Amino acid sequence: MQALLLDRAFGKVAPLEFATTVTESYYSLLQQNALTRVFPPNCHTNAAINSLSLETEDYQYLLSGCADSSIKLWDLNSQSEIDNGSSTIHQDLNKQHSDYDIYDYDHPVQTFTNIATVPRKSAHTFGISAIQWWPYDTGMFVSASFDHTVKIWDTNELTPVHSFDVTNRVYAIDLSGSESPNGFSSSALVAVGSDQPFIRLLDLRSTSSAHTLTGHKGKTLAVKWHPLNPNLLSSGGFDGEVKIWDIRRSKSCLCRLDMLRTNNQADSADNLAKASVKAHSGPVNGLVWNEQGTELYTAGNDDKVRVWDMISSLAPPINKLVNFGPLTRNKYPQTIPIMLNPSYETELQYLLFPSDNSDLFVFRTVDGKMVSRLSRKGTKNSGRTCSMVNAGPFTGKYYCGTIDGEIIAWSPHWEQPNIEDLVEDTNEVDVQDVLSKRKLAEEARRNLEDDPYFNGEP
């Protein structure tokens, strides 16, 4: 690391290359935050946090939607100090990471500020199943609930301005906002996966149901728009199928993903007429595209994660047979938040997978190798993760909502050696000098994090 810092100082390493190298190391150093940069304990009173959404303009405002129908808005740039009756607050703040295992995870010193709350039963009458910011403006967000409604919200007033009644329990939503040349959105569609075997497309401009996509045999658990093409949509259903849709066509379904098709030499005939084409042996409840839209990652109740080549020379797409190991557990027929880190922040891309046993796994996408296995600490350490967001590029930080009402903050931490290990004879070595050097090292690390190139700022 010292050699890398020296090369960065002398300009031998480009800023982006330096930031990429440092961020690459983060994913093997993730740990749960304990004292600061955390959320209040039991912030949603033991009710499952089904959805989190962090706006991507400043990565400052976080929405959390809960199973008790409440919604909270958090300011991640503001922290409130908690008086827990302890006289050792400043001592706790100065603890070194080598003491990390003895942190008191149940009594933080500073927590993120909750700046607004929608009380339970005041807007939605049943649990929030999904919540999402409008992609280009924090003035609006969308929420969905098991009360059969999708609501459009004015953030400034924190009140719903329109409500869609979809007549079925909603499991998943995804917003498509394609940007036009003048900088404004040229389309504003919300894809809705519900209890029925079809997908509704809600038009925010006309406040009406614009289209219905039929084809699944059972409830639809996951929907995801293509990251670049606003007309392409992927969906995962209770029937184990994953479908790709082109909403411009009268016969909208382009193809179905077949887990048995593993190379270009396999049968490339159209499989739309086949009785059964499975992507997973159980319900599909997780979908995520890579940023280029060239690969699709799917998760199912068969405990498998599959990677699909979406630009193969012949249709339908190919199962790339990436093996993520035997440790993943996924048995609940509810939408789960599988997530990819931003591809430009590391040389290799990573997949974060929340397992049913409450562990969070970090895998390399290229070969499925496990990089980290993150386990919760503290008194409440057994609840599985229901929602997850990335705190921003080049940070290595993630926030996870759990089934027991907690929001867990994960970030990279480095272990530091104890002074006693470095100083054998205090009569011969100036301990204060060693302490001052370590303080300077800490300041250098903080300056590194403030580097605009490192943080991805222009």
Digit-coded pLDDT (tens) for 102-112: 567 888 889 99
pLDDT for 269 equals 59
Is there a single domain that holds both residue 345 and residue 451?
Answer: no
Is there a single domain that holds both residue 246 and residue 393?
Answer: yes
Eight-class DSSP state of 38:
B
Total count of domains within the chain: 2
**Backbone Cα Rg of the chain:** 24
Closest CA to 299 of 261, 263, 341, 337: 337
Given a cut of 70, whether residue 96 has pLDDT beyond it is no
pLDDT for 183 equals 47
pLDDT for 287 equals 96
Least confident of 160-164, 167-171, 332-336, 449-453: 449-453
Average pLDDT, the chain: 85
Is there a single domain that holds both residue 300 and residue 348?
Answer: yes
Eight-class DSSP state of 127:
-
Is there a single domain that holds both residue 124 and residue 88?
Answer: yes
Q: How confident is the model at residue 436 (pLDDT cuts 50, 70, 90)?
A: confident
Determine the Cα–Cα distance for residues 107 and 32; give it in Å rounded to an integer: 14
In this structure, is residue 12 part of a structural domain?
A: no
Is there a single domain that holds both residue 157 and residue 267?
Answer: yes
The share of the chain scoring above pLDDT 70, in percent, equals: 82
Least confident of 168-172, 179-183, 199-203, 387-391: 179-183
Is there a single domain that holds both residue 407 and residue 435?
Answer: no
Is there a single domain that holds both residue 45 and residue 74?
Answer: yes
Instruction: Quick: pLDDT tens for 280-331.
Output: 999 999 999 999 999 999 999 999 999 999 986 566 789 999 999 999 999 9
What does the pLDDT average to over 186-203? Answer: 90
What's the whole-model pTM score? 0.85
Residue indicated by tokens 């272990």 = 415
Is there a single domain that holds both residue 189 and residue 224?
Answer: yes
54: domain CATH number is: 2.130.10.10
Is there a single domain that holds both residue 64 and residue 126?
Answer: yes
In this structure, is residue 17 part of a structural domain?
A: no
pLDDT for 87 equals 46
- Residue 364's φ and ψ, nearest 5 degrees, are -80, 130
In this structure, is residue 20 part of a structural domain?
A: no
Given a cut of 60, whether residue 89 has pLDDT beyond it is no
Q: How confident is the model at residue 426 (pLDDT cuts 50, 70, 90)?
A: very low
Is there a single domain that holds both residue 432 and residue 454?
Answer: yes
pLDDT for 449 equals 63
In this structure, is residue 181 part of a structural domain?
A: yes
What does the pLDDT average to over 2-12? Answer: 81
In this structure, is residue 13 part of a structural domain?
A: no
SS3 state of residue 19: helix
Is there a single domain that holds both residue 424 and residue 406?
Answer: no
pLDDT for 141 equals 96
Given a cut of 80, whether residue 415 has pLDDT beyond it is no
Given a cut of 60, whether residue 268 has pLDDT beyond it is no
Instruction: Quick: pLDDT tens for 126-155.
Output: 999 999 999 888 999 999 999 999 999 999
In this structure, is residue 393 part of a structural domain?
A: yes
Is there a single domain that holds both residue 319 and residue 443?
Answer: no
In this structure, is residue 289 part of a structural domain?
A: yes
Determine the Cα–Cα distance for residues 62 and 389; give it in Å rounded to an integer: 9
Determine the Cα–Cα distance for residues 87 and 234; give it in Å rounded to an integer: 54
Q: Which residue has the higher pLDDT, 415 or 308?
A: 308
pLDDT for 158 equals 93
Domain extent for 397: 30-416
pLDDT for 451 equals 64
Q: How confident is the model at residue 346 (pLDDT cuts 50, 70, 90)?
A: very high
What does the pLDDT average to over 210-235? Answer: 92
pLDDT for 266 equals 59
Determine the Cα–Cα distance for residues 58 and 78; give it in Å rounded to an integer: 13
Q: Which residue has the higher pLDDT, 435 or 401?
A: 401
Instruction: Cis check for the bond before 316: say yes or no (omega within 30 of 0).
Output: yes
pLDDT for 91 equals 53
What does the pLDDT average to over 228-249? Answer: 92
Determine the Cα–Cα distance for residues 152 and 161; give it in Å rounded to an integer: 6
Given a cut of 70, whether residue 345 has pLDDT beyond it is yes
In this structure, is residue 5 part of a structural domain?
A: no
